[in-house]
Every structure is written in structure tokens, then in C-alpha cells.
A and B are shown apart, each in its own frame.
Chain A
Amino acid sequence: MSGPPGKFNIGWLRGYTVVYLIFIYLPILLLPIFSFNDGIYVAFPMSGFTFQWWAEMVSQPGMHKALWNSIAVAVPVSLISTILGMMGAKALTSYPLYGARALTGMFTLPLVTPFLILGIALLITFKNYGINLSLFTVGVGHVLICVPFSLFVLLSRLESFDRSLEEAALDLGETPWIVFWRVTFPINMPGIVASLLLTFTISFDEFLLAFFLTGDASTLPIFIWSQLRFPVKLPSVLALGSAILVVTVFIVVVAELLRRKGSTRSTGKVI
């Protein structure tokens, strides 16, 4: 005799899912919780509620500089990777390119190469050509890893984009360049914004490449890492981490919503 085959499995699956979710989110939740704890040790029982660490974090001298450095890298990186990603996605979807699949595969290679290796390789390359390490070299490294993300976000957009809209615009007398700005760009705007937000957060959070490629100027993740050497700084790092977490989650959710909204609407097909 055997019971309904699905029941048993689903019970287990449910349990597994709950454990998995706790595993993912509990450590992350500890960050904001302990950033309000009145004590320097991250351990239960908590000793009281305080804003002290958030205040300390905000007034931290190196923090502002590092935050500014990170933004100064992430903004151009997101713009440049999105432009490059757009050009790649446009080429891959517009023409019957020979070897398009292989090409797409090649573009993804930086994603699966360990960043450790990538960081060392870039470091050696820059040193070889006598290029001094700076925020610029960090930016170059970040573009390298951001372009594949941008490419994939925009590829999934452009694949559902009706190319006859571009032909219609050409037919109505506009040159390809104007067609891009009057038709392709506005219709694929949600995908472009999603790509900008995604690549911004990737660059903003990235540690390993920045660690290898930055000179004296440190980005925010590197600043955080350097702070961890001092136990008394830990709670204010938790506060900073919480702040970054909130902003990042917000941006990623917005990006994803935009990406989805875009791909169901505005394909130009009769619904």
C-alpha cells in the first residue's frame, strides 16, 4: 500500500525550503539587528538599543571619501557597460550573425572566470603596460564584469522587441541613427534602466577586483574590509553594511520589476 505519491515529497520540500530561506536570510538580518545593539560584540543576549553606531558610521572620516570613490566608479561603469551591452545585444539580435551563439558564450566568459584570476590577470596587464593603479583601473575591471550582465538584460529585452517597428520607422523616412533614438531606445527603456541599475550595484558592491586594482583610493567595500581589523569599529561597519543592503535590495528589485514590465508590454504585437 502506498499513499498519494506527491504528499510525502511536498512535505519534505516545504521543510527544505524553510531551512534554506532561514540559512540565506538570517545572517543578513543579523546585520541590521546588531547595528542597533548597545555593545561592540555580535552576540546574544543583546544589551540595549542605540543609534550610536549609525551616528559613528555617518561621521567616519574615511567613509565619505570611500563612498564618493565607489559612486565615482560605479556611475561611469554602469553607463559604459550599458552602452557596450546595448551595442552587443543590438548586433546579436539585428543580423543573422555567423557564430552568434559562440559569440554570446564568449561574452559570458568573464562571469565564470574566478574574479581572483581575473584580478591577477588585469593587475599583471596594467603593470606590464606601466598603467598606474587607480580608480580608473578599478573601473576598467568593473566594465569587464558588468558588460555580460548588461548584455543579458538587454538581449532578453531585444529578443522580444519587434524589429518591424524599426523597419516601419526607416520606411517613414528616418535614418538608422534617428530610428534608434525615436523607436528602439524609448521602447526598450525599461531594459536599459534595469541594466544601468544592475551594473551600478555590481560595481558598487564589488570587492575582489577593486582590491587588486585600486591604488591609494579605496572604494567602499575596501574601506569596510579595512575597518574590520579594529574590533571597536565592527558595529559601525554593521550599520554601514545595513545601509548598503537596503539600497542595493531596493535598486535590484526596481531593476527586476522594470525588466519584467518591459518584456510583457510594448513588444508592438497585437495583444
Chain B
Amino acid sequence: MPASSFISIQDVSKHFGSIVAVDDIDVEINRGEFFALLGPSGCGKTTLLRMLAGFEIPTRGEIFIDGEQMSGVAPYRRPVNMVFQNYAIFPHLNVFQNIAFGLRKDRLAGDELKTRVNNALSLIKMKEFGERKPEELSGGQRQRVALARALVKNPKVLLLDEPLGALDKSLREQMQLELRQLQKIVGVTFVFVTHDQEEALTMSDRIAVMSAGKVLEVGSPDDLYERPQTRFVAEFLGTMNVFDGSVHARDGDSYIVDTRDLGRIRAGVGAQEFSDGEKISVALRPENLKIVNSQTSEDIDGSVSGVMSNTAYFGNSAQVYVTLDGSEQALVVSIQNQDGAASNVAHGSRDITIGWSRSSVLLLKDA
């Protein structure tokens, strides 16, 4: 089946002996997209990326890149380039030679080669570093050289395997921005592997969330964060309060759901349909929960009471941990720290009531 999208991954599986590393994945990636493969370690992200690069051969399924079928196409003939997890900078070559490595086949004149490499060097802001040997570079600089070495080939797709994983936190955050900007400048399709949900949320146009060799959901960061369809995605992206429940009935534009921990509650109807009696998960984001008191004016469609067990400050916000009455379940509430709100809560009564609006209650399949 020929593909309509730029990269089309169709029913792809990869087995290593008895290990199923990638399990029947279907993903479509658009031209010029910054696309993230997100999932915990060992879920098959690298294996999928290596199949795009041609280093692993799918056990089943087909991959198309820009309309061309990739099966049987060797890595050195694919229109993709890769930034390796450890960068794989050639230790016997200097920075200039590393970046020029892939241009040998293009048989450029000496001047043109120099121009191409120097352009790449200025793209990564390392103009003065051409003569340096790899061992004289910092982790961040190696990462950029790996990036330039791949981009100078003008690939249709750039594959990046946890490229920021080896960097320390502040450098990583800076590189996240730079990488995103770079992608906008060059316009190349990026397929980016990470296990860091924050990184995926801040950088990507779309994200595929993977678990145990499968892609669970594909969507934009706000789609996946605000409207997850599965419990795994809801819990993997950010903090989430999740409870077991079952659908009692549908009542107009809301479902009535029974839960052990929250009692009978109402939830707005979202994209998914549920049948009466279906076992589901009920999810509430900490930032959508409010502490209810006499001054609370917002719409509250449901509430639960409990005892505050702990508070954690993050400066502009605070997280309040509540042990629910009648069950030992914990609930996390995030509050904005305006006019010392966090401090007031922390020093107020330990018995509190938590409320929420109907539209913020998420119902998820696979309880």
C-alpha cells in the first residue's frame, strides 16, 4: 500500500529471538514535522529508529519514506541521517573532517566543500572549532558536531536518538530550544527519541507515546496532555490522579460514574464513547483541582473531603497532598501561589475539601 504521508510506518514489528522489541506499529509522520517517540526505557524507541535508518530489518511490515519503500534499501542509500545516542564522533578526525565525512561522494570542489562545512559550522555556532580534535570538545559541542555532520548531507529525515540524554540539566534545556529553532530554520523532518516527557512536550509538533513495543497514542502535546485516551498516557505525561471506576449511565452531555474513592461523580462527554457498566479509569490533573472554602466562587460539579498530609513548594506553585476520607488513597492538588495562597493553605486547617468541574474529569479506557 503506497503511502500518502511523508514517512509511513505500516504494521511494523521487530523480534529479537523471543523478544518482541516493536509490536505491530502504525505511524504516519508529516513532512517538516518535529515528531517525538516517547516512552520508558526498553519500550522499543531505538529499535524503531534503527529500522528507519536501515540498521535493523523489520520482522514484518513496511516503511515508506517520501513515497519510497525502504525494505531492502541499505543504510548508506537511505535519504535519512542519524544523530547517535553517544554521538559517534570519529576520534581520528578533527571537527571539520567529521562534518565533511559524508560529503566525499558528492565530489565537491575544494572551495565548495569548505563553504558547505563552514556553513554547517556556523549553523551550530562552532565556526572557530574546525581544527579541534573530538577529545577537546565538551559533551554539548560533540552533540552539535554530530548534528552538523548529519544535516550537512541535506537528509529528508533526521533521526535523533536521545540526543540530549548525556547533557546536564541546564545545558539540556538550552539545547532543547536550540534544537527546536534549528529544526525550524532547516525545515527537515525530525524524528526524535526521548524518554523525558517534558522534553517531548516542549519540543514536538506531535508525539507518539510508546509502551512495551506498541504505540498507544499519537497526538499534539496539548492533545495528549489535556485529552489522553489511555491510562498509561495520562500517567506518563505529567502528574495525574487516577482512580478505578465504572460507568453508571449516560445523562445528556455527561456520564455518571461510580468510583470507590470519589463516590458517584459526573464527567463531561469527550471523544470516547462508553457503555453502561464499563470498567474505566477516572483521571484528574492536579492543576484542575481546587481547594473549596466559603469564598470559592467557581463552578464545582463534584467534591471530596480529606486530610492534608503534606505540601511541596515550587515557588510560583505548590502541590498539596491529601489523604481522602474513607479510603487511604492520596490525591495531589496543585495550587497557584498568589498572595501567599500556598502558605495560607499550609497553615490553615488540615481538614479540607477538594472540588472540580465536570469538564476536567477525564474518562480513560483500560481501567
Min C-beta distance of B49 to chain A, whole Å: 11
* Residue numbers in B under 8 Å from A175 (CB-CB): 74, 76
Q: Are the C-beta atoms of A186 and B86 separated by less than 8 Å? A: no
Min C-beta distance of A193 to chain B, whole Å: 14
The 8 A CB mask of B124-135 against A (1 = contact, 0 = none) is: 000000000011
Q: Are the C-beta atoms of B82 and A171 separated by less than 8 Å? A: yes
Q: Complex Cα distance A172/B86, Å?
A: 16
Name the one of B53, B87, B91, B134 contacting A171, with C-beta atoms under 8 angstroms. Answer: B53
- B78-112 with Cβ < 8 A to chain A: 80-82, 84-92, 101-102, 104-105
Min C-beta distance of B63 to chain A, whole Å: 16
- Asked whether A171 and B76 contact (CB < 8 A) given A266-B92, A268-B90, the answer is yes
Q: Are the C-beta atoms of B104 and A167 separated by less than 8 Å? A: no
Q: Are the C-beta atoms of B92 and A269 separated by less than 8 Å? A: no
Min C-beta distance of A97 to chain B, whole Å: 14
* Residue numbers in B under 8 Å from A170 (CB-CB): 55, 74-76
Q: Complex Cα distance A183/B74, Å?
A: 18
Pick the most buried of B85, B88, B102, B139: most chain A CB atoms within 10 A of its CB.
Answer: B88
- Asked whether A165 and B88 contact (CB < 8 A) given A172-B153, A173-B76, the answer is yes
Q: Complex Cα distance A182/B104, Å?
A: 11
Q: Are the C-beta atoms of B88 and A271 separated by less than 8 Å? A: no
Q: Complex Cα distance A271/B137, Å?
A: 10
Name the one of B89, B105, B134, B166 contacting A173, with C-beta atoms under 8 angstroms. Answer: B105
- Asked whether A168 and B76 contact (CB < 8 A) given A173-B102, A173-B153, the answer is no
Q: Complex Cα distance A34/B136, Å?
A: 52
Chain B interface residue count, Cβ-Cβ cutoff 8 angstroms: 30
* Residue numbers in A under 8 Å from B92 (CB-CB): 186-187, 266
* Residue numbers in A under 8 Å from B248 (CB-CB): none
Asked whether any CB of chain A lies closer than 8 Å to the CB of B45, the reply is no
Asked whether any CB of chain A lies closer than 8 Å to the CB of B227, the reply is no
Q: Are the C-beta atoms of B76 and A165 separated by less than 8 Å? A: no
- B42-95 with Cβ < 8 A to chain A: 53, 55, 74-77, 80-82, 84-92
Q: Are the C-beta atoms of B81 and A172 separated by less than 8 Å? A: yes
* Residue numbers in B under 8 Å from A266 (CB-CB): 91-92
* Residue numbers in B under 8 Å from A269 (CB-CB): 86
User: Which residue of chain B is the closest to A269 with respect to CB atoms?
Assistant: B86
Asked whether any CB of chain A lies closer than 8 Å to the CB of B149, the reply is yes
Asked whether any CB of chain B lies closer than 8 Å to the CB of A248, the reply is no
* Residue numbers in A under 8 Å from B75 (CB-CB): 167, 170-171
Min C-beta distance of A231 to chain B, whole Å: 55
Min C-beta distance of B117 to chain A, whole Å: 13
* Residue numbers in A under 8 Å from B153 (CB-CB): 172-173
Name the one of A172, A187, A265, A267 contacting B101, with C-beta atoms under 8 angstroms. Answer: A172
Asked whether any CB of chain A lies closer than 8 Å to the CB of B142, the reply is yes
Name the one of A162, A174, A182, A186 contacting B88, with C-beta atoms under 8 angstroms. Answer: A162
Min C-beta distance of B137 to chain A, whole Å: 9
Min C-beta distance of B86 to chain A, whole Å: 6
Q: Are the C-beta atoms of B89 and A268 separated by less than 8 Å? A: yes
Min C-beta distance of A119 to chain B, whole Å: 42
Pick the most buried of A170, A172, A174: most chain B CB atoms within 10 A of its CB.
Answer: A172
Q: Complex Cα distance A169/B81, Å?
A: 10
Q: Are the C-beta atoms of B91 and A267 separated by less than 8 Å? A: yes
Asked whether any CB of chain B lies closer than 8 Å to the CB of A128, the reply is no
Q: Complex Cα distance A165/B92, Å?
A: 11
Asked whether any CB of chain B lies closer than 8 Å to the CB of A164, the reply is yes
* Residue numbers in B under 8 Å from A112 (CB-CB): none
- A212-271 with Cβ < 8 A to chain B: 265-271
Q: Complex Cα distance A267/B134, Å?
A: 11
User: Which residue of chain B is the closest to A164 with respect to CB atoms?
Assistant: B88
* Residue numbers in B under 8 Å from A187 (CB-CB): 90-92
* Residue numbers in B under 8 Å from A174 (CB-CB): 76, 102, 104-105
* Residue numbers in A under 8 Å from B87 (CB-CB): 270
* Residue numbers in A under 8 Å from B77 (CB-CB): 173
* Residue numbers in B under 8 Å from A268 (CB-CB): 86, 88-91, 134
Min C-beta distance of B94 to chain A, whole Å: 13
Q: List 29 A-B contacts (CB under 8 A).
A: A162-B86, A162-B88, A164-B85, A164-B86, A164-B88, A165-B91, A167-B55, A167-B82, A167-B88, A168-B84, A169-B90, A170-B55, A171-B80, A172-B101, A172-B102, A172-B149, A172-B150, A172-B153, A174-B76, A175-B76, A182-B101, A187-B92, A267-B91, A268-B86, A268-B90, A268-B91, A268-B134, A269-B86, A270-B142
For the complex with contacts A168-B84, A187-B91, 18 further pairs of A-B residues with Cβ separation under 8 Å are: A168-B82, A168-B88, A168-B149, A171-B53, A171-B80, A172-B101, A172-B149, A172-B150, A173-B76, A174-B104, A175-B76, A266-B91, A268-B86, A268-B134, A270-B86, A270-B139, A270-B166, A271-B135
Chain A residues proximal to chain B, CB less than 8 Å: 162, 164-165, 167-175, 182-183, 186-187, 265-271
